[in-house]
A and B are shown apart, each in its own frame.
Chain A
């Protein structure tokens, strides 16, 4: 069964460093998303991406964040200068239809720890 994959599963970085989180969405999906979940808190939407551009972004997705689909398979989230409060689980998701009828498939997540 096709699934969304994410690498790495755990990333530890120093405050101020840049990190890139990688995702491989399901191959025939067209819509891509990043979410984060701080430990013990709710899942928060970061950004949606379609047709090689950002569709929507939340207030969290400021200039420190960027997304890219560098090739036909990968979808990346870059945090330019990490802060302590960026420590969270980051989930990538993909779907083959637009909201509101879509089923988003979530990847297993990358746990980001900023020291």
Chain B
């Protein structure tokens, strides 16, 4: 059973702070890793993907991947109230996508 684990939250941070979201996965053969944002009642929206160990930055977002620890994280700098959503981690081990249950983030103005 391929598992993707995320803390369900809720995670609350004040506006302007850094939000840190974490994800672990069970399949060591996983090739690529995705972070999606999902607003309530809406479809997932890709924030970024990463497939090499290390950090990948895109604007206020940084994804960090550590394949040895089977760990991927997302940092959101200068958090805004509009970042309040559920963040989904998805993993691709080579045949299909596996999603975590998501972490609910609330950014407090």
Size category of the B interface is 20 to 34
Q: Is the CB of A48 within 8 A of B101?
A: no
Does A25 reach chain B (CB closer than 8 Å)? Answer: no
Complex contact B49–A45 (CB within 8 A): no
Task: Tell whether, in the assembled complex, residue A106 and residue B51 are in contact, meaning their CB atoms are under 8 Å apart.
Answer: no
Q: Please, which residues of chain A bring their CB within 8 A of the CB of B7? A: none
Interface residues of A in 19-39 (CB under 8 A from B): 35
Residues of A within 8 A of B32 (CB): 99-101
Q: Are B96 and A42 in contact (CB under 8 A)?
A: no
Interface residues of A (CB under 8 A from B): 35, 41-45, 48, 56-58, 91, 99-101, 103-109
A104-B46, A106-B44, A108-B42 as given contacts; A99 in contact with B101, CB under 8 Å: no
Which residues B84-104 have CB closer than 8 A to chain A? 88, 90, 92, 95-102
Q: With both chains docked as a complex, state the minimum distance between the C-beta of A31 and any C-beta of chain B, in angstroms.
A: 12
B81 nearest CB across to chain A (Å): 23
Q: Which of B43, B88, B96, B101 contacts A56 (CB 8 A)?
A: B96
Known: A42-B101, A100-B32. A109 touches B43 (CB 8 A): yes
List residues of chain B with CB within 8 A of the CB of A42: 88, 99-102
What residues of A have a CB within 8 angstroms of the CB of B57 in the complex? Answer: none
Chain B residue nearest to A91 (CB atoms) is B43
**B96 to A106, Cβ gap below 8 A?**
no
- Inter-chain contact A43/B92, CB cutoff 8 Å: no
